[in-house]
Amino acid sequence: MVFYLGKPPTREANYEQDMDDTRLQQLLTQYFDNTIARADCEDLLNYLDEGSPSIVAMAIDQALETNKAAGSSFNPDRKKNVYSRVVSEIHALQTTPTQQATPHKLYTFPWMKIAALFMAALIVGILLYENQQSGADTSSIASESENSITLPEHNQAILTLADGSTILLNDSLNGILAHESGVEIRKAEDGSIFYEAKQASVADGTINYNTFSTPKGSSYQILLPDGTKVWLNTATSIRFPVAFTEEERHVSLLRGEAYFEVTHNASKPFSVEVNGSTIQVLGTHFNVSAYADENRTTTTLVEGSVNVSKNGKTVLLKPNQQAVVDELTGAIRQSDADVRSVMAWKNGYFRFDDESIEGIINKISRWYDIDAVEYEGEFNERFTGTFQRSKNIAQLFSYLEKLAPIRFEIKERRVVIMK
C-alpha cells in the first residue's frame, strides 16, 4: 500500500502509468524463490532502477506475501530473514569471482549484485519505518479489533431466472444450475457462471431474461451466451437474455459497475443499456460504472471502439478514453482516462487519484460492512494511493491518519471521522 497526500510526484505518477505491477511482482517472487531465469534478471533490474523506492517497496511486500516461503502473513521478523538472505547473496557476490560461480546460481549474474543491494536497502527502510511506528502508533483504531469492519462474509450472489425463481450461488454446487430456452446454465470450478447453448431457440418470439446480482463485498464473473466475458463489481446487477436473437445482443446494466470483454460478431452488434444511455460495440473491452450515489455513468474504453449515446447525443471513444454522462443534465463529457485506476477493482484493489476523504469512504463503503459515517469537521485533504482489498480496513485508516490530521473511530460498524 502506497499513499500520498494530494497528487504523487510526477516521476512516480508516470512510473505507475508505465510499469506493469503484475510483471514486477512476478519477477520479485521468482527472485525470492531463486527460480528467476537469466533472461528475466535484466528486466527485474530495469524495473528496480526506474521505479521509485516506495512503489517498489510495495511490490516487494506483495511478492513476499505470495512467496511460498513467506507463509500467509509477513511480519518484520520475516522481513529480517529475507534481508539476511539478501545480505548473504551480496557477500557471496563480493567474495566469489564471477567466473568461478556455478552457472545456475542466482548470484552468477553481475547485474544482480546491484538488484540485491537495492532490494536490501528497500527492505531495511521498510523495517526501520515499521519499527518506528510499532511503538508510537496512537491510532484510535489500532487496538479496537472488536469494532473492526470487515468484508461481509454471508452475502450471496444471486441469479434470478426468467420465471422469477432465484439461485444462491455461494450455496450451489458446481455443474448444471438450470435449463432455460435450450441453454444450460452452469457453475464452473472457479465459481464463475457460464451459459452453454444446447438447442437454444426463440422461435416463438419469447425471449427469456436472467438477472445476475452481486452483493456488497464481492465480485463475480459470468460468461454470456455469445462468449462475452463480464466481470461484476460489488453491488452490481446485470440483465441479459438467455439466448441472443439473430439481430442483436443487448444487455442492461441495472446498477453498479461491470467490465466487458465482448466477443466480436459483426453481424450481431452488442449494446449495453444503462440509465438511459446506450453503449454500442462490435467486439471490444470496456468498463461501465453506474453507481446511483454518483449521479453519473462512466464508460471507459480499454480496447476497440464504442459509441456512447444519451438523449440524441453520441460520442465515439478510442482506447484510453472515457465518456462521463451527467445523469442530472444528460450532458456527455469525453476525456482521456487512467485505465489502470479504473480497472483496479477488477484486480482486487482500490485505487484513488487525488481523492477526497469523502470519496474514499464512499468507495470502500460499497465493499465493507459500514452502516453509517459521521464527519465531525471539514476535510479538505486529498489522497492518492493504492490499497489492496483485505478483511479489515483498519490498516487503511491507520495509514491515512499518519498522512493528515485526521482521526478515525469505529463504533459498531459506524465510522466517525474527526480532526
Q: Which of 98-102, 198-202, 207-211 has the lowest mean pLDDT?
A: 98-102
Please determine, for residue 49, whether its predicted confidence score (pLDDT) is greater than 90: no
Whether 337 contacts 321, CB under 8 Å = yes
Whether 203 contacts 182, CB under 8 Å = no
- Rounded CA-CA distance 359/352 in Å is 9
Q: What pLDDT is stored for residue 62 in this prediction?
A: 59
Please determine, for residue 109, whether its predicted confidence score (pLDDT) is greater than 50: no
Task: Summarize pLDDT for 282-307 with one digit per residue, the tens.
Answer: 789 999 999 998 999 999 999 999 99
Region 308-321 average pLDDT? 95
Give the confidence band of 417 by pLDDT, cuts at 50, 70, 90.
Answer: very high
Q: What pLDDT is stored for residue 128 in this prediction?
A: 47
Please determine, for residue 362, whether its predicted confidence score (pLDDT) is greater than 70: yes
Angle of CA points 96, 97, 98, to nearest 5°: 110
Nearest to 257 by CA among 292, 229, 227, 226: 292
Give the confidence band of 185 by pLDDT, cuts at 50, 70, 90.
Answer: very high
- Rounded CA-CA distance 333/298 in Å is 9
Higher pLDDT, 13 or 386: 386
Question: Grid coordinates in use for 154?
Answer: 454471508
382 forms bridges with which residues in the sheet? Answer: 356
**For all residues of the chain together, what is the average pLDDT?**
78
Catalogue all structural domains in the chain, each as residue range(s) with its CATH number: 2-136 (no CATH), 145-150+347-418 (3.55.50.30), 158-342 (2.60.120.1440)
Whether 230 contacts 221, CB under 8 Å = yes
Q: What pLDDT is stored for residue 395 in this prediction?
A: 83
Please determine, for residue 142, whether its predicted confidence score (pLDDT) is greater than 60: no
Give the confidence band of 68 by pLDDT, cuts at 50, 70, 90.
Answer: very low
Tally of CB atoms within 10 A around 323: 28
Q: What pLDDT is stored for residue 117 in this prediction?
A: 53
Q: Which of 30-34, 47-51, 240-244, 289-293 has the lowest mean pLDDT?
A: 47-51
Nearest to 113 by CA among 134, 90, 145: 90
Q: Which of 201-205, 266-270, 332-336 has the lowest mean pLDDT?
A: 201-205
Give per-residue burial for 38-50: e unless 16+ CB within 10 Å, then b.
eeebeebbebbee
Whether 271 contacts 248, CB under 8 Å = yes
Amino acid in the structure at residue 17: Q
Please determine, for residue 380, whether its predicted confidence score (pLDDT) is greater than 60: yes
Top-ranked range on mean pLDDT: pick from 61-75, 118-132, 267-281: 267-281
Nearest to 123 by CA among 74, 73, 72, 50: 74
The SS3 call for residue 358 is: helix
176 forms bridges with which residues in the sheet? Answer: 186
Q: What percent of the chain is modeled with pLDDT above 90?
A: 41
Q: What pLDDT is stored for residue 107 in this prediction?
A: 40
Q: Which of 39-48, 58-67, 229-238, 392-401 has the lowest mean pLDDT?
A: 58-67
Amino acid in the structure at residue 64: L
For residue 380, what is the DSSP state? -
